[in-house]
Amino acid sequence: KNEVEQSPQNLTAQEGEFITINCSYSVGISALHWLQQHPGGGIVSLFMLSSGKKKHGRLIATINIQEKHSSLHITASHPRDSAVYICAVSGSARQLTFGSGTQLTVLP
Amino acid sequence: DADVTQTPRNRITKTGKRIMLECSQTKGHDRMYWYRQDPGLGLQLIYYSFDVKDINKGEISDGYSVSRQAQAKFSLSLESAIPNQTALYFCATSRTSGNEQFFGPGTRLTVL
């Protein structure tokens, strides 16, 4: 069993829809990361959180430490949100363990 | 802007050739990492370095070697490339005190 599981693997939405991507992990962590990988391949960090909730524009990330679960929400989705969204966790050694990613396609 | 750069961005080579991928950063970070990404799989750690004199193997280091020439430079070598090393390779950096990693643009390597 992978240490970091994401669902769904693929997601297609219509522009304007509310989107949720889920991440579950099975190990103790010091932080959870949400990353975005665009079709060109580059990876950028969206959020790093260890408790509660963070918001940046239309993106919201939440984490439930007791349940070992995090969600990434996108409100009012737009075609430019189309990308691969990756969940990763860091432990005491601060190395990252990655999920396999969620391919999001937002149709106009 | 402080940045992480990788060269080359794309490389096609043949089985058995030695290949070097280079990573440079201007962020002043001590920690550097090399990952590979295969379709449908999460990024996997090849090697990491916490400073110039500290280099460690990751989960998939076989067939790879690294060199940390300076705080700002971390190179990955494939001693004798094989087709299943065809992948997207990423370099990343982080502060000693932080969890967040900053990624380079990636190198797409094809081994024929």
**In angstroms, what CA-CA distances link A17 with A12, A71, A73, A102, A105?**
10, 16, 11, 16, 11
Q: How many angstroms away from the CA of B91 is the closest CA of chain A?
A: 10
**Identity of the residue in B40, B48, B100 whose CB atom sits nearest the CB atom of A48:** B100
Residue A104 touches partner B, C-beta closer than 8 Å: no
Chain A residues closer than 8 Å to B87 by CB: none
pLDDT of residue B63: 95
DSSP-assigned letter for residue B16: T
pLDDT mean over B8-28: 96
Segment A4-22 shows an average pLDDT of: 96
**What is the token pair recorded at B4?**
């992480």
pLDDT (mean) for B95-109: 89
- Nearest Cα residue to A47 out of A58, A60, A38: A60
Is A31 in the B-facing interface, judged by CB distances under 8 Å? Answer: yes
Contacts of B93 (CB under 8 A, 6+ apart): B4, B25, B27, B29, B31, B32, B33, B101, B102
- A29-59 residue pLDDT tens: 889 999 999 887 789 999 999 999 999 999 9
At B73, list the tokens: 């430079």
Model confidence at B1, in pLDDT bands (50, 70, 90)? low
Average pLDDT, chain A: 92
Q: Which residues of B touch A45 (CB under 8 A)?
A: 100-103
Q: Grade residue A94 by pLDDT with cuts at 50, 70 and 90.
A: low
The two three-digit tokens of residue A69, written as one number: 């679960």
User: Beta strands A10-14 and A102-107: pairing type?
Assistant: parallel
